[in-house]
Amino acid sequence: MSRTGRTASIATTAVRRTALLFASLAIAVALWESYKAVGPADGGDVFGWRIIPKTNDRVMPHTWTMAAEFGDDAIGSGDQKVWSVLLGYSWYTLRMALAGLALGMFVGVGLAVAMARLKIVERGLLPYLVISQTIPLIALAPQITVIRGSLDLPQWTSAAALAAFLSFFPVTVSTLRGLQSAPAASLELMDSYAAGWWTTLRKLRFPAAVPYMVPGMKLAATASVIGVIVTEITLGGLRGVGFATIDYSQKVTSQPASVYAAVFAAAALGLIMFGLVAAGESILMRRRPKESLG
Amino acid sequence: MSAATDQAKAVVVSDVSMVFNQGGPGAVAALDHVGLEVEPGDFVSLIGPSGCGKSTLLRVIANLLEPTAGSVLVNGKSAHQARIDQDYGMAFQQSGLFEWRTVTKNIELPLELKGWDKQRRRERVSEMLELVKLPDRGGHMPWELSGGQQQRIAIARALAAHPPLLLMDEPFGALDEMTREHMQSELLQICAATGTTVVFVTHSIPEAVYLSDRVVVMSAGPGRITDIVSVDLGRDRDEDTREDDTFYKKITEVREALRGGELTDSARGIEDR
Amino acid sequence: MTTQRAVETLWPPALFGAAFLVLWESVVRIFDIAPFTLPAPSAIFTAFVERFGQVREATFETGTNALVGLLLGIVLGVLASLLTVRFVQVEALLTPLAVAVNAIPIVVIVPILNNMLFGTTSQLPRRLMVMLIVFFVVFVNVSKGLRQVSATHLELMRSYAASPTAIMYKVRVPNALGYLFTALKIAAPLAVITAFVAEYFGGVQNGLATGVRNSLNGSKDVTWAYVIGASTLGLTFYLISVALESAAGKVNRTA
């Protein structure tokens, strides 16, 4: 396929996916409103299990109320509108998430390479990497922040570090699998060129690993955003989307829909990060054979 | 002393043995006191049933395996040094092209590793593409080419650095018969043009006879050379050669040599057409 | 597993672990780090032993939440993936939704869910949260596994005039099984974390998160003792996933 042909097909896919995105939003709105119309205002039981959510306006505002909220004045922020305040918060969080993702990818790929190089490192270290993911971020956050304080680093580094902590693992696992996926014949070929391990890494193992790394990076991207937001909520002092959710939940009696506005901002952030990785995937993988879609 | 002995032989295999899992219960004598000499410019085939050690021998020559006994000289050096010095190119049954590189970049791979600059690499790649008759495929991706074309690119890659020796492990095994015959002719033309020595592993008797100056017949359990059949069909072979009487005679000779090495076992994995 | 093989498998991690602990303990002592900043492994161990009974009970409570959510998430994730085979649009529709939901941090969804459903002492919001997170991981991986089948296999099945259902069972599902286990190995420890976090922000409970929360302003060694409980739980989930994967591999081979 020619260069213009390829670009055109990436563009068509993008358009189609955006259209489907709007369609799915429309469906979500329809589901929300129809449930709100029929559901009990104060919740209900099924066989004694309280699983039917409440539908009153405070807890479950109308979707148009939530949409309108973005245009309202933000309480406590002068005469700025909610959307502009949230935009500022989102940008702040996004930057930390990107930093955390970059750090997480750096660490993740580095660990994967070390483990691919020395089998003993894989055997000795991988169990602990798995265990590390079982440590709840909330318990770790104060510990990290105390250490950060004693090292006199700026506040946002806690968020980036914790975001990296959540995002490095899927990168490590998927990269390791990818590095180990090079076909034996190709490894023999590189051997026949008397190519060293690092040369083989650069020219064979790493390119072969890319298709495996992509799903890992998608998980890492969303994990990174979560890591930052959780840090903002647990530690305070960082003016990001996470902060907004706490701030607005305290104002829930006067402006119930604002919490949802912050939630949407958080979700949008996750989508943007995911989209960035997906765009990267399209570019990186454009010259590879397509997966067979039955 | 004659000029032939002064000039280094292309390959000298001296009393090579290869035992896998040595000392253990699953010990396999893949090669047993194997000796072989290949003159520069020769085309030599290794043929034999499964387990006769032909692929193992090829890999020992390529220094991808260390023999448990014996030595190998390639181009007058140890096999190890020959590999370091990139004195041979290799081609496998799976073309082994990197799916993320264009055809051009695939052929460039050994040249990159030798540290050639871009200009020189590009020139050599054009040359190789002309040689394998695919001059306009440089910008394509491997998966856009047919199996035969991919193998031609693999051969172009193997010869890109103009090594004196070419080692091939059933490179046409995955191709259909007509493409295979066509590729055989192509290979002969390429080797004639470049003067490369070739050691070629196959389990097709007609292929071995058509291509080679000498056919090395091997047998299994343990792997050893049982016979070497000289094929005097001359250097200018073409499609008519396949209808030659001598051609059929040599095929029969090789077949009988194969059977002769299998007094008790039946020949396995040999194509008889 | 024979003793010899067990030793072979375990000595590298044991070595790495021991080296790390020694390093940690040394750093704390050499730099005279205050227990508030970073407790030493020896202090953590003491705290753990002292509170063993409480930690164990808390682990059980959090673990149940994680398990229920995990199972629900897997079932739903697999079902949704099966749908994407039949209706390709489902994937394009669900993915942005799933990504968005996954991107909303647990810490935000839990209070909302708690408000919508009565009773913060109910375990249900926690389990629903776990289910949501697990769903996404399973969905992304299994749908990929169902779709990425070799063209040769599909051609073969079409030559048998096989129905889409037959293709599903004989080609796609076995292919997707590997992806399911990849997802499981990620989702299982993730379920534990999610249950933990959901509990942390969800009001007074008896689980591990409560234990951590209550001790944060005091001695961090108690915090870490509860963290050990959480990690052990997560690790157990992971090891069970690995065991299931190899068991499934054996079953596949004999079939």
What is the model's pLDDT at position A100?
95
Q: Which residue of A has its CA nearest to B79?
A: A192
What is the model's pLDDT at position A152?
86
Residue B62 has its nearest CB partner, among A192, A199, A203, at A192
Answer yes or no: do A287 and B90 touch at CB < 8 A.
no
Confidence of residue A2 (pLDDT cuts 50, 70, 90): low
Q: Which residue of B has its CA nearest to A184?
A: B96
What is the model's pLDDT at position B221?
78
SS3 C170: helix
Name the more confident of B75 and A11. B75
SS3 C208: helix
What is the model's pLDDT at position A44?
65
The answer, yes or no, to whether B and C have at least 3 beta-carbon pairs within 8 Å is no
- What one-character-per-residue DSSP string does B201-231 give? EESBHHHHHHH-SEEEEEETTTTEEEEEEE-
Cβ under 8 Å to C: A residues 122-141: 123-125, 127-128, 130-131, 133-140
ipTM score of the complex?
Answer: 0.77
By the 8 A CB rule, do A164 and A100 touch? yes
Mean pLDDT, consecutive 10-residue stretches, chain C (255 aa), reads 82 91 90 82 89 90 92 93 81 69 68 60 76 86 83 75 77 84 88 84 76 78 88 90 86 54
Distances (CA, A) of C141 to A207, C23, C100, C178: 21, 38, 17, 9
SS3 breakdown of chain A: % helix, strand, coil, rounded to 5? 75, 5, 20
> What is the CA angle C82-C83-C85, rounded to 5?
70
Helical spans, DSSP H, in chain B: 3-6, 54-61, 79-84, 103-113, 118-131, 147-159, 177-194, 205-211, 245-260
What is the model's pLDDT at position B267?
47
- Establish if B43 touches chain A: CB-CB under 8 angstroms: no
Name the more confident of A245 and B20. B20
Convert the pLDDT of each residue in C125-164 to its tens digit.
788 888 888 988 898 889 888 888 777 777 777 777 778 7
Answer yes or no: do B100 and A207 touch at CB < 8 A.
yes
Answer yes or no: do A143 and C38 touch at CB < 8 A.
yes
| Chain B residues within an 8 Å CB radius of A208 | 98, 100
What is the model's pLDDT at position A246?
77
pLDDT at A31 over 80: no
Instruction: Indicate the DSSP class of residue B271.
Output: B
SS3 B107: helix
What is the model's pLDDT at position C99?
64
Instruction: Please give the Cα distance from A180 to B32 (Å, whole number).
Output: 34
Nearest to residue A211, comparing CAs of A244, A242, A175? A175
For the record, the structure tokens of A287 come out as 């010259």
By the 8 A CB rule, do C42 and C25 touch? yes
Helix (H) or strand (E) holding A231: helix A206-235
What is the model's pLDDT at position A45?
66
Instruction: Please give the Cα distance from A283 to B58 (Å, whole number).
Output: 40
Cβ under 8 Å to B: A residues 183-202: 183, 185-186, 188-189, 191-195, 199
- Establish if B143 touches chain A: CB-CB under 8 angstroms: yes
Q: Residue B7: is it exposed, middle or buried by C-beta count within 10 angstroms (0-12/13-18/19+)? A: exposed
What is the model's pLDDT at position B234?
80
Convert the pLDDT of each residue in B216-251 to its tens digit.
999 887 888 988 999 988 878 888 888 889 899 999
Average pLDDT value for residue range B21-36: 86
pLDDT at B100 over 60: yes
Closest approach of A187 to chain B, Cα-based (Å): 10
What is the model's pLDDT at position C108?
75
Least confident residue range of A169-173, A227-231, A255-259: A255-259
Closest approach of C43 to chain A, Cα-based (Å): 15
pLDDT at B122 over 90: yes
Answer yes or no: do A288 and B100 touch at CB < 8 A.
yes
Average pLDDT value for residue range B13-41: 88
| Chain A residues within an 8 Å CB radius of B101 | 207
Nearest to residue A257, comparing CAs of A53, A15, A20, A71? A71
What is the model's pLDDT at position A102?
95
Answer yes or no: do A185 and B92 touch at CB < 8 A.
yes
Answer yes or no: do C100 and A123 touch at CB < 8 A.
no
Nearest to residue A179, comparing CAs of A257, A137, A122? A122
For the record, the structure tokens of B67 come out as 């023999």
Q: Using CB atoms, which chains have 3+ pairs under 8 A with C?
A: A
Q: How many beta-carbon contacts under 8 Å exist across A and B?
A: 51
Nearest to residue B70, comparing CAs of B225, B247, B245? B225
- Label the pairing between strands B165-169 and B28-38: unpaired
By the 8 A CB rule, do A141 and A162 touch? yes
Mutate to test the interface with C, among A125, A134, A172, A277 (most CBs of C within 10 A): A134
What is the model's pLDDT at position B265?
47
Confidence of residue B153 (pLDDT cuts 50, 70, 90): very high
Amino acid at site C113: L
Answer yes or no: do A249 and C200 touch at CB < 8 A.
no
What is the model's pLDDT at position B134?
92
By the 8 A CB rule, do A112 and A176 touch? yes
pLDDT at A106 over 90: yes
Closest approach of A289 to chain B, Cα-based (Å): 7
Instruction: Please give the Cα distance from C154 to B218 (Å, whole number).
Output: 40
pLDDT at A241 over 90: no
Q: Which residue of B has its CA nearest to A183?
A: B96
Quickly count: other Cβ atoms within 10 Å of residue B249's Cβ. Answer: 12
- What one-character-per-residue DSSP string does A191-224 give? HHTT--HHHHIIIIIHHHHHHHHHHHHHHHHHHH
List beta partners, residue B88: B165
List beta partners, residue B20: B28
By the 8 A CB rule, do B103 and B141 touch? yes
Task: C69-72: list long-range contacts, CB under 8 Å, 24+ apart.
Answer: C69/C126, C69/C127, C69/C128, C69/C129, C69/C130, C69/C131, C69/C133, C69/C134, C69/C191, C69/C194, C69/C195, C70/C130, C70/C131, C70/C134, C70/C187, C70/C188, C70/C191, C70/C237, C72/C127, C72/C130, C72/C131, C72/C134
Name the more confident of B196 and A261. B196
Longest dimension (CA), chain A: 73
List beta partners, residue B224: B219
Instruction: Please give the Cα distance from C45 to C227 (Å, whole number).
Output: 12
What is the model's pLDDT at position A287?
80
